[in-house]
Chains A and B, each alone.
Chain A
Amino acid sequence: MKNHVLRPLWLAIAVVATVLIAREFLVPEDFGVHGDSFTYNFYRLSNVQEWKDFQVKYQGRERCARCHEEQSENNAASMHAIIQCENCHGPGVDHPKKIKKLPIDGSRELCLRCHQKLAYPSSQRSALPGIDGETHKKKKECRKCHDPHFPDLEDA
């Protein structure tokens, strides 16, 4: 066969071979179809473990209760029992080892997330005790008068 026909053919074969060899080294061993479907299960298997190892930040009230017994018991008896400690105190991930004291969010904005009155007839929001943040003791932090761990003022 003539040379000018063969030359591009060798070139094409060389390109394909290079790609195949490079692929051997670049694609991780665990990359492939792991499951029923090529469409949905074509991936690098070790990534699943990488995601499982992602750091957990929020620990849950059970862990808080191990040390802070009194506050947990108080809170559990109040109407705020449904609220997680970390919703106001922040995630407890490095507490107490690295972060000695968690920064407490005592802002009005935090309380108003639930207790700003919104006149929504069909929503659970209107079933919560609410105030108008614009008129009710505007400059004061809520916790100056209301105990967040035991907010039921009437019984106090």
Chain B
Amino acid sequence: MSCSRRDFLKQTVASVAAAAMPAATFVFLTPEQANAMVGDSVRRWIFLVDTEKCTGCGLCVKACKIENEIPYDAPVSRTWVERYVVTKDGQTYIDSPNAGRDGFTTGEIRGEAIDPENIEKAFFVPKLCNQCDNPPCVQVCPVGATYQTEDGVVLVDRKWCIGCGYCIMACPYGVRFFNPVTKTAEKCNFCYHRISKGKEAACVQACPFEARRMGDLKDPNDPVTKIVMTERVQVLKDEYGTKPQVFYLGLDERVR
């Protein structure tokens, strides 16, 4: 093998330059992954929750359960609404009776009456599957029964799922559960059957206050995309690196 002095120097300079380049140079995307790599025709579904608008009526949960044939009285749900009540003495009360299916029609939280005079702030937070860009639930599936579609929604193949429950344990948001009827893993899929027919998701349609909205991240003129790109939105548990695609407006630090 021959190596001239010139070649040796060239290669040394090149490799030193390459080594000096921080790894971050190659992964400096985001502003929503550069608008989810705009360009090709496929969509990237996103969800926007405006917690300021939610009044805790729970019509979204009711509609979701009926639309997606989730057993109505079983303690499982694809989406749920949490209530947070912060009192003046610094206590935080959180509840979600029946996943918020019947709304919040009493001031009591877990059987405990709270003096209205003592309430500093209170709010409702709807939750659902975040359709992560890096879904940990998909990584752990041993049989390839759950996957990410090309438009970014994570689906469960009910015929292929063996019901081992790994994905239920892997989801940091506690979104997945075991469907007692199909005996498979179950989760919100943004009402994939509706959105792919041009309809709104059941919860989005049922919400009277537009607290829940959906959009396409690849369409720069989409009103929801505009909000996500230009306003101050938050995601849940950002530190897990899951890259959630459900964005929240007006989120409180107490919400995890």
Size of interface on B: residues with Cβ below 8 Å to A: 55
Q: Contacts A83-B208, A87-B59 known; A43 to B147 CB distance under 8 Å?
A: yes
B116 adjacent to A58 (CB under 8 Å): no
A122 adjacent to B148 (CB under 8 Å): no
B55 adjacent to A56 (CB under 8 Å): no
**Complex: A35 Cα to B54 Cα, angstroms:** 37
B193 adjacent to A58 (CB under 8 Å): no
**Complex: A84 Cα to B209 Cα, angstroms:** 11
Query: Which B residues are in CB contact (< 8 Å) with A43?
Result: 144-147, 155, 157, 160
Query: Which B residues are in CB contact (< 8 Å) with A55?
Result: 193
Query: Which A residues are in CB contact (< 8 Å) with B194?
Result: 56
The closest CB in chain A to the CB of B103 belongs to: A113
B149 adjacent to A48 (CB under 8 Å): yes
A44 adjacent to B160 (CB under 8 Å): yes
B205 adjacent to A123 (CB under 8 Å): no
A47: interface (CB < 8 Å): yes
A58 touches which of B56, B67, B120, B144 (Cβ 8 Å): B67
B19-27, B72-80, B121-129, B165-173: which lies at the interface:
B121-129
Query: Which B residues are in CB contact (< 8 Å) with A116?
Result: 103-106
Query: Which B residues are in CB contact (< 8 Å) with A35?
Result: 148, 150
A58 adjacent to B206 (CB under 8 Å): yes
A87 adjacent to B63 (CB under 8 Å): yes
B54 adjacent to A119 (CB under 8 Å): no
B249: interface (CB < 8 Å): no
B123 adjacent to A123 (CB under 8 Å): yes
Residues of B contacting A: mostly: loop
**Complex: A40 Cα to B131 Cα, angstroms:** 12
A9: interface (CB < 8 Å): no
**Complex: A61 Cα to B220 Cα, angstroms:** 28
Report the minimal beta-carbon distance from A50 to chain B, rounded to whole angstroms. Answer: 8
A123 touches which of B55, B106, B134, B157 (Cβ 8 Å): B55
A114 adjacent to B57 (CB under 8 Å): yes
**Complex: A126 Cα to B227 Cα, angstroms:** 26
The closest CB in chain B to the CB of A43 belongs to: B147
B7-15, B175-183, B196-204, B231-239: which lies at the interface:
B196-204
**Complex: A55 Cα to B68 Cα, angstroms:** 9
A82 touches which of B122, B199, B209 (Cβ 8 Å): B209
Task: Using A58-B205, A118-B104 as known contacts, list a sample of 19 further A-B pairs with CB atoms less than 8 Å apart, ordered by residue number in A.
Answer: A40-B135, A43-B147, A44-B159, A44-B160, A47-B157, A47-B159, A53-B193, A54-B68, A56-B194, A87-B62, A91-B66, A112-B103, A113-B56, A113-B102, A119-B107, A120-B123, A123-B55, A123-B123, A133-B105
On B, residues with C-beta under 8 Å from A are 52-59, 62-63, 66-68, 85, 102-107, 116, 119-124, 134-135, 138-139, 144-150, 155, 157, 159-160, 189, 192-194, 196-197, 199-200, 202, 205-206, 208-209
On A, residues with C-beta under 8 Å from B are 31, 34-35, 37, 39-44, 47-48, 50-58, 60, 82-84, 86-87, 90-91, 109, 112-114, 116, 118-125, 128, 133
7 intermolecular pairs with C-beta atoms under 8 Å apart: A42-B147, A43-B146, A57-B66, A91-B67, A113-B56, A119-B119, A133-B105
